[in-house]
Amino acid sequence: MFDFIEDYPSDNAIFSQNGLYIPDATECMRCGLCIGLCPTYKLFQTEAETPRSRLRIIDKIINGNTAISGEELKHLNNCTQCRACETICPSKMAYGHLFDLAREKRFQAGASERRVNLLGTIGFKLIEHKALLYTATVLIRLYQKSGLQFLLRATGLLRLFKLEKAESLMPEADISKLAERYSSGKKRRGNVALFTGCISDHFDRKTLLASIKLLNVIGFDVLVPKQQTCCGAVHRHQGNTAVADKMAAINTGVFNSLDVEAIIYTASGCGLMLNEYGKDNGGEASDTLRFGSRLYDIAEFLNLHWPDGMSLKNSQSNLVHENRKVAVHEPCSQRNVPKPELGNEGAWNRHQHVYALLEKIPELTVIPLPDNQICCGAGGIHMLTHPEIAGPLRNAKLA
């Protein structure tokens, strides 16, 4: 009844020698192996919240055979897109790509995802235009420092407009601008470029600066091209492939013009998107291949290029003490998607470099967070559009 796929591409891509390949529902063997790793099934315990059920809905959307109901759309959109199902699927279903194709089909038909409200739509537009995003960041900084944030939180107005949860997740904005080059000094080993993305540039500045510092310490000059833009993940996952492709073209051109040994990212979600540039056209363009061949997660690059005999130590840090223990959360975007050059031989294994790097800190015990194979619920903007799913999944992780 169900067909095994013998000639499916080994890297879970949806391209074959004959062009675009879209498996139909019968090619999912319905074996159920994916169910144990699915976070929404773990939460709801219903068949409708499984990857195999969603594949049937995706098939309806892509092939246009049957209209989907509002209930089916709800179950489809509940997916966190963790792609854990891809790591265990014997049919090698390219679930993540098929999900994006379904979203693209709906976007082209003019359908909107109801949970992406007006603020979300404005957010998408801001991400597309760096100048507007910077202006918004300045306004957010003013909001945070002027006392207005305290006032709105104290009066309950945020709760009234259902913004309390989203606002509480907003980090402190940094409106300063990064330099375009950070020199390592006399012991220079080479040049690397840093991908900052759209949000991290102003809302995760500490991570970027710490990454630059460590790269300088091990002998690499860091270039931060100001022409770079968002990775495009948010737009692609919402079906707006035209904007996502435009962003990919900008980033590919900007970073390929630099004389660097590596392109480094600090956010694994962005890294996943960067690594998938070009997959929608077969991924064979020379500019895409050149870009992808130099991509590294920050922990991966640091670990691979760490000088022998050098240990991580900071006398001013509260972290380095005897018998300290650190539990590592492994993002789905690090562990669930096959590394291109490894084909389907397990996950990227880039999360393993995080452990190796932390083990360079003296007197520190490093352990994995329990149930790292289960999604934390964040899923990009999923935690904003589906807090009733993201919250329980996160709480289960931290219990």
How far apart CA 173 and CA 398 sit, in angstroms, is: 26
Q: How far is CA 343 from CA 13, 20, 144, in A?
A: 10, 18, 46
Contact of 261 with 290, CB cutoff 8 Å: no
Q: What is the mean pLDDT of residues 229-249?
A: 94
Q: Are residues 244 and 146 in the same domain?
A: no
Q: What is the pLDDT of residues 102-127, one digit of tens each?
A: 999 999 887 766 566 666 788 888 89
Q: Which pLDDT score, from 0 to 100, does residue 194 have?
A: 98
pLDDT score, position 10 = 36
Question: 189 and 157, same structural domain?
Answer: no
Does 251 score more than 60 pLDDT?
yes
* 224 vs 397: which has the higher pLDDT: 224
Nearest Cα to 279, choosing from 106, 46, 20, 38?
20
- 236 within a domain of the structure (yes/no): yes
Q: Which domain holds residue 210?
A: 181-368
pLDDT band of residue 321 (cuts 50, 70, 90) is low
Residue 353 and residue 303 in contact, taking contact as beta carbons nearer than 8 Å: yes
**How much is the average pLDDT of 250-261?**
96
**Domain count within the chain:** 3
Residue that is last in its domain, among 76, 108, 140: 108
First to last CA, the chain: 43
Beta bridge partners of 208: none
What is residue 309's predicted lDDT score, i.e. its pLDDT? 81
Percentage of the chain with pLDDT > 70? 84
pLDDT tens per residue across span 16-66: 444 445 555 557 888 889 999 999 999 999 999 999 999 999 989 988 777
Quick: pLDDT tens for 371-382.
Answer: 899 999 999 889
For the ranges 33-42, 280-289, 339-348, the maximum mean pLDDT occurs at 33-42
Name the token pair of 95.
């679930």
Does 390 fall in a domain? no
DSSP 3-state assignment of 113?
coil
Q: Tell me, what's the pLDDT at 322?
A: 60
- Residues 336, 252 share a domain: yes
Beta bridge partners of 375: none
Asked if residue 192 and residue 287 are part of one domain, the reply reads yes
Three-state SS at 181: strand
Kindly report the number of other CB atoms within 10 A of residue 320's CB atom: 16
Q: Please give the structure tokens belonging to residue 361.
A: 């800190």
Task: Supply the pLDDT for residue 14.
Answer: 43
| 82 and 226, same domain (yes or no) | no
d(CA 150, CA 355): 39
Supply the Cα-derived Rg of the chain in whole angstroms. Answer: 22
pLDDT band for 314, please (50, 70, 90 cuts).
Answer: low
Q: Is residue 137 part of a domain?
A: yes
Of residues 347, 340, 326, 262, the one with CA closest to residue 297:
262
**Residues with Cβ within 8 Å of residue 173, at least 6 apart in sequence:** 137, 138, 140, 141, 144, 202, 203
Q: Is the pLDDT of residue 2 over 50?
A: no
Give a yes or no: residue 276 inside a domain. yes
Q: Which burial class, exposed, middle or buried, applies to 387 when counting CB atoms under 10 A from its CB (0-12, 13-18, 19+)?
A: middle
Give the neighbor-by-neighbor strand order of the sheet with 220-223: 181-182, 220-223, 190-195, 262-265, 295-297
DSSP state of 184: -
Say if 89 falls within a structural domain.
Answer: yes
- Say what the pLDDT of residue 182 is: 97
Is residue 379 in some structural domain?
A: no
What integer pLDDT is reported at residue 347 of this predicted model? 44
User: Exposed/middle/buried for 318, CB within 10 Å: 0-12, 13-18, 19+?
Assistant: exposed
pLDDT classification of 338: cutoffs 50, 70, 90: low
For residues 314 and 364, state if they share a domain.
Answer: yes
More confident residue, 343 or 221: 221
C-alpha closest to that of 85 among 373, 391, 382: 373
What's the pLDDT tens digit per position in 143-178?
Answer: 999 999 999 999 988 888 888 888 888 899 999 999
Q: Which residues contact 72 (CB under 8 A, 6 or more apart)?
A: 48, 57, 60
102 and 125 in a common domain:
no
Q: Tens digits of per-residue pLDDT, 56-91?
A: 999 899 887 778 999 999 999 999 999 999 988 888
Q: Coil, helix or strand for 373?
A: coil
Burial class (CB in 10 A: 0-12, 13-18, 19+), 5: middle
